[in-house]
Amino acid sequence: MSYQVLARKWRPRRFSEMVGQEHVLQALINALDHDRLHHAYLFTGTRGVGKTTIARILAKSLNCEAGVSSEPCGSCSSCLEIAEGRSVDLLEVDAASRTKVEDTRDLLENVQYAPTRSRYKVYLIDEVHMLSNSSFNALLKTLEEPPPHVKFLLATTDPQKLPATVLSRCLQFNLKNMVPEQIAAHLAAVLDAEMIRYEEPALWLLGRSADGSMRDALSLTDQAIAFGAGAITEAGVRSMLGTVDMTFVYAVLEAVAAGDAAAALAAVAHMAEHAPDFESGLDELLSLLHRVAVVQMLPDHTDNSRGDSERVARLALSLTAEDAQLFYQMALNGKRDLPHAADPRSGFEMTVLRMLAFRPLVLPDDGSLIPSADGASGTAGPAPSKHGSAAARQSAAPAEEAAMAVIESPAAAEPPAAAESPALVSVPAAEPAKATAGARLQLDRASPPALTACADWPDLLDRLGLAGMVLSIASHCALESQQGNDFRFVLDDNQMGLFNPGHAERIRLALQNYFDTPVSVSIEPGRPASETPAMRTARHKQERQRAAEVAIESDARVQRLIQRFDGELDRTSITPLEP
């Protein structure tokens, strides 16, 4: 008997044998078991994800002699004929080779006649998007109102090319790409059943190379079996696919983590001796950095699918989380730039050299530059404080905006702020600290102030205990005049849309409670002639911001770092501490 390829031999014959696509299978199984069948189904997805397979299983379920159900018997004449591709009532059509309107008319010519032997006449049209506009028009009426004994099963890899009139007449199911975990697990089951020896890392290589297609994965597995003379090994699969041996990738990243440029370039040279695909090398480096970052954030979620969890854990300790993220971004940029490099090897080497050249540095108290990571801790020099920190951006490498150097002054022994937070600068308060409104009112009730003490309206407003919208309105008012118990305010024109007479009454009651004597208040729109409390607050904020920027700019270590890296101060990262 001739050899049957794995993709055909292991094609699922019932829904329970399908791998993945649970969201589609659940809907179909429920529809079959509860007799809620539609007349037209459309299955979409990339190649090799199971569109035609699901359609054939659905045809079996519809025409099984045991009855319509989600579990066809597989042994009756109808099931066997469909499985062997010789059922007269299952009309499989490749639309790519029958695009003319005459072909469609011929196909539908006998649609009104009952099926020859089965319960339903099933039309399975593959690559339906290849039909011409005239063919779609010829299909529309039948597709919308077919005879009760007809079912349409359509499959396509490009649903965007289907007219909306066709899409609206079908139940559409979008099949997803297979993830490498699903593919590797299925390949292991297949190879166990075939009694073929394999190495698990080799299955992961095949799963990733299949790019979401189970059919491609099985075809690659057939090729790997032939390549390895009946056995599947990681080395053999790497050689067959042209992927890079992970030993080289580990060596490169370990040399970068140690800051050893000579060892890193030696590892690349050793890799080059095996004629690798350097783009694949960057893919493997990205995958390794991703696993390192996951271990750093979640130590209990170690992935040992390749049997290298201990090596990944050591790399996670030798790199800081910031280094891992930065190297990942550099590898992404290196992959993007690889087609523009003089040759793939030099592009790969430049990516590695960038990791070494732009690794973040920290400037300790003595002004010397040392790497930001010292083993697992990733710290150097004295504990930083949140006072006087700033970010000096590296401008020498346009492709690497992530190369940053953080300067910390030892002014205080408080815990450091997060690396992503803006720089904080302690600036002396520009106004006295505010007492709580309740305490202020209690004190004032005990000793009512004189009405002549209200010349400084911003200071008085702090004592009234107002809140919410009333406080906002009052802060945009300027006290234009006060005659005895009568207060006249001018409200900024820009705030009049928010003002109503109730706000004036609330302000009057607050003043009356504060002075413990009846007062009257009038508020008119206009342009304040004097400074409002809101204006004073904005002015103080600007003064604190300027003072903070001056404090950062005058820091000697900031100046040294800017000079060394030809950088510039990111003023948007500087935020003064609140008084």
pLDDT score for 355: 93
Residue-wise pLDDT tens for the chain (579 aa)?
A: 577 889 889 999 989 899 888 999 999 999 999 989 999 999 999 888 999 999 999 999 999 998 899 999 888 999 999 988 889 999 888 888 877 888 788 888 888 888 888 899 999 999 899 888 888 888 888 888 888 999 999 999 999 999 998 999 999 999 999 888 889 999 999 999 999 999 888 898 898 888 889 999 999 999 999 998 889 998 888 888 877 778 889 999 999 999 999 999 999 998 888 778 888 889 989 989 999 999 998 887 766 666 677 888 889 888 888 899 999 999 999 999 999 999 999 999 999 999 999 876 654 544 444 454 444 334 333 333 333 333 333 333 333 333 333 333 333 334 444 334 334 343 344 343 333 334 343 434 445 566 654 668 998 998 898 988 899 999 999 999 888 889 999 999 888 888 888 899 999 999 999 888 999 999 999 999 889 999 999 999 999 999 998 988 888 888 888 888 888 888 888 888 776
pLDDT score for 238: 82
What residue ranges do the domains of the chain occupy? Answer: 6-174, 180-241, 246-357, 371-579
pLDDT score for 520: 93
pLDDT score for 497: 83
- The set of long-range contacts for 468-474, using a CB threshold of 8 Å and a minimum separation of 24, is 469/498, 469/503, 470/503, 470/506, 470/507, 472/498, 473/498, 473/499, 473/503, 473/507, 473/523, 474/503, 474/507, 474/533
CB 278 within 8 A of CB 348: yes
pLDDT score for 449: 62
**Token pair for 485:** 């118990």
CATH topology of domain 6-174: Rossmann fold (3.40.50)
Give the model confidence (pLDDT) of 305-337 as tens digits: 666 778 888 898 888 888 999 999 999 999 999
What lies within 8 Å, CB to CB, of 184 at 6+ separation is 200, 203, 204, 206, 207, 305
The architecture that CATH gives domain 246-357 is: Up-down Bundle (1.20)
CA 457 – CA 474 distance, rounded (Å): 10
Comparing CA positions, the residue from 413, 391, 387 lying closest to residue 404 is 391
CB 78 within 8 A of CB 60: yes
CB 372 within 8 A of CB 319: no
CATH class of 371-579: alpha beta
Q: Assign domain 180-241 one CATH number from 1.20.120.10, 1.10.8.60, 3.30.1330.10, 2.102.10.10.
A: 1.10.8.60
